[in-house]
Amino acid sequence: MPHMTDERVRAGMTREEDLSLLNEVSMKTAGVSHLEMCIQCGTCGGSCPVAADMDHTPRMLFAMLRAGMREEVLRSNTPWLCVSCYHCVVRCPQEVHIADVMYTLKGMAIHAKLYTDSTAPHFSQTFVGMVETFGRGYELGLATRHYLRHFPLRLPGMMPMGLGMISKGRMAITPKRIKHMDQLTKILDRAKELELTS
């Protein structure tokens, strides 16, 4: 419940505190996120190998969630740069599931179409498309589609690597499909319905 504490009044804060965004993100995160426990110590940002390239460190992002800054949070490149190395997660004194919160924010940004750079969302979506079609990853299909779409100029420089991978048998030309694809499709379809109602 939004509320006005005496402390907020004394601090000159005239608006009621609205934690609905924080709660929404917390509820949408797998496991128990502990997000509301963040004490703003900054251990996460200090542990992050890619913090230098982020719009906001995880600590800043969590303060923004608390402040209800929905659009700014979902436009931030921070979740998309997270490499899921879990350094922050094991160091966080409050046991916030930081990497999982980042996954939640990515999903919310895709849903609200509020990302600034489409490279990462498209990559995730192309990858998932392959898995939903074949039940397995398909690297050649994923790589060609993704690079043609987002890094066409990188392709000539990468040809030797791609050809090396193919000639050494490390990248299959054709995808592999699981036997019971129909079963997997039924499971994923039902899961998507459940996602919408949750």
Partner 1 sequence: MNKYLLYPGCSMDSSAKAYMESLNSIVEPLDLHLEEIEDWNCCGATEYLGINLIPAYSLIARNLALAAKQTDSTRTVVAPCSACYLNLAKADYYMQERPTLGAKVNEALAAGGLEYKAGMLDVRHLIDVLVYDVGLDAIRKAVTHPLSGLKVVPYMGCMLPRPDYQHRWSDHEHPTELDDLLRALGADVIDYPLTTSCCGGHMTQIGPETAFELIHRLVSDADERGAQMMVTVCPMCQMNIDAYQNEMNHFFGTDFHMPILFFTQLMGLAFGKEPGEVGIGVELVSSRNALAHIGVEVPVTQEPAAPRKKDEGLPMPRRWTKHEGKKEAVK
**Positions 152 through 171 that interact with partner 1 (CB under 8 A):** 153-154, 156-158, 160-161, 164-165, 167-171
Among 36, 37, 127, 145, binds partner 1 (CB under 8 A): 127
- The set of residues, in sequence order, having a beta carbon less than 8 Å from that of 158 and lying 6+ positions away, is 147
Instruction: Note whether 123 binds partner 1 by CB under 8 A.
Output: yes
Among 13, 30, 39, 41, binds partner 1 (CB under 8 A): 30
Instruction: Note whether 106 binds partner 1 by CB under 8 A.
Output: yes
Show contacts with partner 1 in window 74-93 (CB under 8 A): 79-81, 83-87, 89-90
Q: How far is the CB of 18 from partner 1 (least distance, A)?
A: 24
DSSP structural state of residue 102: H
Instruction: Note whether 61 binds partner 1 by CB under 8 A.
Output: no
Output the CA angle 51-52-56, nearest 5 degrees: 60
Spatial distance between the Cα atoms of 172 and 101, rounded to a whole number of angstroms: 34
Among 8, 28, 70, 145, binds partner 1 (CB under 8 A): 28
For residues 83 and 50, the answer to whether their CB atoms sit within 8 Å is yes
Instruction: Note whether 136 binds partner 1 by CB under 8 A.
Output: yes
Q: Which amino acid is at 105?
A: L
Q: Which amino acid is at 159?
A: M
Which tokens sit at 143? 């790589």
Instruction: Note whether 195 binds partner 1 by CB under 8 A.
Output: yes
For residues 1 and 80, the answer to whether their CB atoms sit within 8 Å is no
Residue closer to partner 1, measured from CB, 10 or 111 = 111
Instruction: Note whether 174 binds partner 1 by CB under 8 A.
Output: no
Spatial distance between the Cα atoms of 38 and 32, rounded to a whole number of angstroms: 13
